[in-house]
A and B are shown apart, each in its own frame.
Chain A
Amino acid sequence: MWHVPGIKHDSLGILANEALKSVEDLLYLAMDRRIRLAVTGLNQAGKTVFITSLIHQLLQGARLGGLPFFRVVAEGRYQGAKIVLQPNMEIASFRYDQFIQSLMGDPPAWPRATDGLSEIRLALRFRPSGLLRGHLMSGTTIHLDIIDYPGEWLLDLPLLGQGYCQWSREVLALCEQEPRRSLAQSWLDHLSGEDPLQDADEGRIRQASRLFTEFLVRCKEAPVGLSFLQPGRFLIPGDLKDTPLLTFCPLRCTVESMKEGSMLQVMSERFESYKELVVRRFYRDHFSRFDRQIVLVDVLKGLNRGPENFGDMSRSLKSIMKNFDYGRSSLLGRMFQPKIDRLLFAATKSDHVAANQHGNMERLLERMVMDQVNDVSFYGVKVESMAIASIVSTETVVQEHQGRRLSFVRGRPKGRQEEVLLFPGEIPETIPKPEAWKKERFNFLEFEPAGSDWNDQTSLPHLRLDWALDFLLGDKLT
């Protein structure tokens, strides 16, 4: 047994293991046998449910006929999947077992909102499709890495390209318009009594930061439910709560007016530290090496909450997407600097409207993300959009109503005990003009999971998850 002075055997073992894992990872990448899927979406867009359902379908649904449009399954080449050890030991594991239990529990419940980072790796085994490879190889394994995180954190990524003053100006400009203006009143009143160039005082900084955080929380809460809220960690701080990193707020400033030891300078320094120590690390470790991306958009929530919220959602999406690398990767590029070469926009929770509205939902989503689609298509990225439901909690029902045959949905709305039959209204094909948002014109309800007959022997009902999987992973499973 060899020995290196000064280094314990245990450490050497860990190092060797790490090196082996890195080599293995590189090999998988070189052979195009690893996919990092970016599940992107604003808060409450349905990321956790999507990931849970996706894992469930790959583990169980495929065997039970739940993925008829996933080509590798339809062709009978899919051999199975299993959860394997995740690559990063410092990140919490995605609690698939807990989430699935909660969905299949009595009463069934949606997973609670995500408040931290978690990761999962799936090994998918399949028989290659080529004549020669299909005969020579009994099966091939591919790794699928997915991370889950609070959607609020995603909106921090655009901060990387901004300075403190630029960010402050943007936030203050947004606060000049409703609904932010009235929600930010107490914080703005406080700021009007503050001189940014006065000497820094921790108590005053804390108070300003607290008022700003309260403003952000009010913006996030229903019925306002805005999306473009930065910094995201102010809403879900995790273990950074009450640290100086999260104790700052925008101030009226210019770079020239920065004065040593002033409130403005301290706030600016904390903002920069936040960017470097929180956002950049988050980006570098988790968001810079994706191969495929799905952007989940809760179009119905946007419609429900009015034109301001809808515009806010579009702005957030646009801003988030600037932070990903899009394009086609060569062999070396795939190993060392992968890029996203397939992008799927998915309108989630489409089971909350009748099936005949899904086409409109897709078209509305396409309108929402038209600019982003143009941008990424330029780099050769394949883009699609579809209306999906990770888990279907309603049924489409046809019923006569006032002499017209209408498509209703049947399900149990959130917070109610009884099922209702709901005609949820129609979804516009294009982005409605502000005057079209009449009172109650868009009132799409959320539904509880209908899990009374879900069990280990059934696959969770979904809507077009198989199409989504085929688009995102299909070409890698040939």
Chain B
Amino acid sequence: MNSDESWIAPVALTVNAPKETEVETSLLSASPVVLPISGERREDAALGHEFKIPSTPRMARGMYGWFQDRGAIGFILGGLLWLAGIFLEETYLFLWERFHQHWALGIFFFVVAGTTLVAAALLITGEIRGFSSLRRAENLRLDIQRMWERRGHGHAVGVALRLRETMVGDAECESDWKNFNNLVRSHYDDHEVLELLSRTVYGRLDARGYRLIVKHATTMAVASAMSPMIGLNGLFFLWQNLRMIRSIACCYGIHPGGMASLYLTREVLLGTFMVGTTDLVVDRVSDVVGGHAASLVLAQAGKGVANGLFTARIGLAAMNRCRLVPFHAGGEPSLERIRVELFNSLGGSK
């Protein structure tokens, strides 16, 4: 019960205010707005206050987070700038000497150095963009998770706008957004808006995710079955899974760069091993035992199936990690579905 001081007496007014549905519809078709999701208390949000409470603690962000939390990022950046300065100075001296030797030699090395610098700058910019995309997504995911659990009201539509921003240009998703727009109601709480989003727009993204997993798992299974070398097999496994995780991330609107993909892969693998250890062990044991049994008959094929299923398991963990909106009840990804699709596609490829 709110205290007497904050109590507002019931009141009736003339009818001239905009409908909340109209406001939301216009928001959905206009440019995105960022709502104050973190730090707004539900009870006061009802009264239109912006009451700050401590934000949700962010999840551990690995070394990057460790440095950032301790203010060491400036130190690292300073060190990098210092190294870059030395590199530029050395390059300048090197080019100076080459120009002194012969102008053509100088121009050649100038072009080589310039190209290298531009490529490095582009690479670094891409990586920074990748990391910031990952970080934005991570923050958004945490906010969404909080809204999902707290069942507040009036914030989720703003989040939907931000999510829509990540899917601009996706013609297939447009119809899903329209469907979502038609179904969403002003009285839905945040959980309901997000669940509707999960069932409509994210349903299609999930289907794409499954297709990606099946594709990569099938490739992995076939390649393992055909490959005679264990080492080569291992390398291919790593490469294939990296590509799959990155593709799944892109499918859910996250665009990580090369390093960010590695970071994401680490997170996914952690998720695979930590979140579903028991499940994984059971899956792995049964799959390997199955693989061994099969290997008595078709050794290579059994190994391929086992590796394919393991890739699929990683793919599911990647879906769990990259999907910003939680899975609605009954929509959770399952190995069973992948398993069936994998066997189907293997059957089809024979």
- Provided the pairs A358-B189, A421-B15 are in contact, do residues A406 and B1 lie with their beta carbons within 8 angstroms? no
Report yes or no: A406 in contact with B8, Cβ–Cβ below 8 A. yes
Q: How many residues of B contact A (CB 8 A)?
A: 43
Against A, the Cβ 8 Å flags (1 = close, 0 = not) of B1-37 are 1100001111111111111110100000000000000
Whether A405 lies near B47 (C-beta < 8 A) is yes
Alpha-carbon gap, A405 to B192, bound state (A): 23
Query: Does A209 have its Cβ within 8 Å of any Cβ on chain B?
Result: no
Main secondary structure of the interface of B (DSSP, over half): loop
A408 vs B186: C-alpha distance in the bound complex, in angstroms?
Answer: 12
Is A423 positioned at the interface, with any CB of B under 8 Å from its CB?
A: yes
Q: Mark A398-442, 1 if CB is under 8 A from B, else 0.
A: 110100111110100000001111111110111010001000110
Contact B47 A397 (CB under 8 A): no
Q: Report Cα–Cα, A399/B200, bound state, in Å.
A: 31
Report the separation of the CA atoms of residues A358 and B7 in the bound assembly, to the nearest whole angstrom.
17
Q: Are B11 and A395 in contact (CB under 8 A)?
A: no
B196 within 8 Å of A (CB atoms) = yes
A408 to B19, CA, bound (A): 10
B11 partner, pick from A354, A422, A436, beta carbons under 8 A: A422
Q: Is the C-beta of A17 less than 8 angstroms from some C-beta in chain B?
A: no
B146 smallest CB distance to A (angstroms): 15
Q: Which residues of B contact A443 (CB under 8 A)?
A: 10
Contact A355–B2 (Cβ < 8 Å):
no
B21 close to A68 (CB less than 8 A): no
Closest to B11 in A: A423
Min CB gap A287→B, angstroms: 31
Q: Does A448 contact B (CB under 8 A)?
A: no
Contacts of A461 in B (CB 8 A): 185
Kindly list chain B residues whose C-beta atoms are within 8 Å of the C-beta of A406: 8, 47-48
Interface size class of A (residues with CB under 8 A): 35 or more
From B45, which residue of chain A is reached at the shortest CB distance? A356
Given A392-B187, A463-B187, A397 contacting B19 (CB threshold 8 A):
yes
Q: Which residues of A contact B15 (CB under 8 A)?
A: 410, 418-421
Q: Provide the bound-state CA to CA distance between A436 and B142, in Å.
A: 38
Q: A380: CB under 8 A from chain B? A: no
* Residue of B13, B152, B154 most packed against chain A (CB within 10 A): B13
Q: Is A357 touching B46 in the complex (CB atoms < 8 A)? A: yes
Contact B151 A131 (CB under 8 A): no
Given A396-B187, A398-B20, A441-B7, A422-B12 contact (CB < 8 Å): yes
* Total residue contacts A-B, CB cutoff 8 A: 120
The smallest beta-carbon distance between A442 and chain B, in angstroms, is 8
The reply to whether the CB of A324 lies closer than 8 angstroms to some CB of chain B is no
Any B CB within 8 A of the CB of A83:
no
Given contact pairs A428-B1, A436-B1, A440-B10, A398 touches B17 in the complex (Cβ within 8 A): yes
> Smallest Cβ distance from A210 to chain B, in angstroms?
40
The smallest beta-carbon distance between B212 and chain A, in angstroms, is: 22
Q: Is the CB of B189 within 8 A of A401?
A: no
- Asked whether B183 is an interface residue with its Cβ less than 8 Å from the other chain, the reply is yes
Q: Which residues of B contact A444 (CB under 8 A)?
A: 10
Given contacts A398-B17, A420-B13, A422-B11, contact A430 B47 (CB under 8 A): no
Residues A426 and B8 in contact in the complex (CB < 8 Å), given A74-B199, A404-B48, A408-B13: yes
- Is B188 on the interface with A (CB-CB < 8 A)? yes
Given known A-B contacts A398-B23, A421-B17, A359 and B11 have beta carbons under 8 A apart: no
Residue numbers in A under 8 Å from B9 (CB-CB): 425, 440-441
Q: In the complex, which residue of chain A has the Cβ closest to the Cβ of B196?
A: A68
Which positions in A face B, CB cutoff 8 Å?
65, 68-69, 71, 74-75, 131, 351, 354-359, 392, 395-399, 401, 404-408, 410, 418-426, 428-430, 432, 436, 440-441, 443-444, 461, 463
Residue contacts A-B, CB under 8 angstroms, 17 given: A65-B183, A71-B329, A351-B187, A354-B46, A355-B153, A355-B154, A355-B186, A356-B42, A357-B46, A359-B152, A404-B8, A404-B47, A421-B13, A421-B15, A423-B12, A425-B9, A441-B9
